Amino acid sequence: MSSKSIRVFAPASVSNVGPGFDMMGFALHEPGDEIIIKKNNSNELRIVNIEGDNGNLPKEVDKNTTTVAIKSLLEKYDLNVGLDVSIHKKMGIGSGLGSSAASAVAGVFAVNELLNLKLSKIDLLVHAMAGEFVASGSIHADNVAPCLFGGFVLIRSYNPLDIIQIDYPKNLYCSIVYPDIVIKTKEARKILSKTVKLKTAIAQAGNASGLIIGLMTKNYELISRSIIDLIAEPKRAKLIPCYNRVRKAALDNGALNCNITGSGPSMFAFSTSAKDAERIADAMFKAVIQSGLNGKKYVSKINGKGPIVLE
């Protein structure tokens, strides 16, 4: 007998990862979102509860990231089933940590498990991307893909979709600060140039290749000198009042490098031990406070699993 309800967790993710604008991301252990889905007898998809969003998320099924993703999945496979969806946001919206991606992934992952559809992650991905699209207004998979697949993910191509999972050093730790300002991805994409100079494209491709090779060969020095974004970060840094202070604090404390995650305002820094990562996160957080902001800090290894069923 199949179960009538399911509760799942889907993780936050760091996207762009320096030079990988729209093409690289990795999953975190925390924070993340929880979704509960129950079958109902009405044949309708309904949002019955949203918590932790301060009233900011749309409750209409056609506007909410989770239900847009689920609806896209149900329609594609012609599934007539009634579902009640409860969304428990456990991370900031507009934080740069893939909040909308986690909600979209949690939705499609939960439905796949609940209805025993046995769809592959690549089958689920396009529907999670449809959910992400309503939140961000753009097609990008560098949060949804790592959130769904787990680990470190390269989107080699969007058309056709080509997702590559990259091996990474298991002792890589990520320190994160989330200053409590909201940056909407939609807005942070508008300020980017539509074209880049050839010289910049070459340098960015060099850094992106260097980062991938550094991760795969556990070459920390190569990782450190490759995590540089010449395209989005120079434009977006000015949206984050504590950017320079946080970056300096991380580097002064031995981080491999320090960058914006996604469209910000969260920033991340890699290091190679739990002790270093805690010290770096403390220093980054202090820099946020010294800039007159509040916020949160996290320390996480890369989460190799992605979403999980809680019950």
User: Which member of 6, 12, 15, 169 binds ligand HSE (CB under 6 A)?
Assistant: 15
Which segments of 41-178 does DSSP mark as H helices, in order?
65-76, 99-114, 121-136, 144-149
Which residue is at the shortest CB distance from ligand HSE? 262
Question: Which position among 65, 66, 67, 185 bears the catalytic label?
Answer: 185
Contacting ligand HSE within 30-69 (CB under 6 A)? none
User: Which member of 232, 249, 255, 280 binds ligand HSE (CB under 6 A)?
Assistant: 232
Q: According to the binding rule CB under 6 A, does residue 163 interact with ligand HSE?
A: no
Told to judge if 132 belongs to the known catalytic residues of this protein, a careful annotator would answer yes
- 82-88/45-51 β-pairing: parallel
Nearest to 230 by CA among 256, 251, 208: 208
Query: Which two structure tokens, joined as six digits, stand for 306?
Result: 């992605």
Nearer to ligand HSE, 112 or 136 (CB): 136
The contacts of residue 50 (CB under 8 Å, 6+ apart) are 57, 59, 86, 87, 89
Contacting ligand HSE within 278-307 (CB under 6 A)? none
- CA angle at 143 for the pair 246 and 63, rounded to the nearest 5°: 110
Residue 22 and residue 142 in contact, taking contact as beta carbons nearer than 8 Å: yes
Question: Which position among 34, 113, 132, 233 bears the catalytic label?
Answer: 132
Nearest to 32 by CA among 117, 83, 102, 134: 102
Told to judge if 272 belongs to the known catalytic residues of this protein, a careful annotator would answer no
Nearest-approach distance from CB 239 to ligand HSE, in angstroms: 12
Site string for ligand HSE, 238-277 (x = CB under 6 A): ------------------------xx--------------
Annotated catalytic sites, by residue? 132, 185
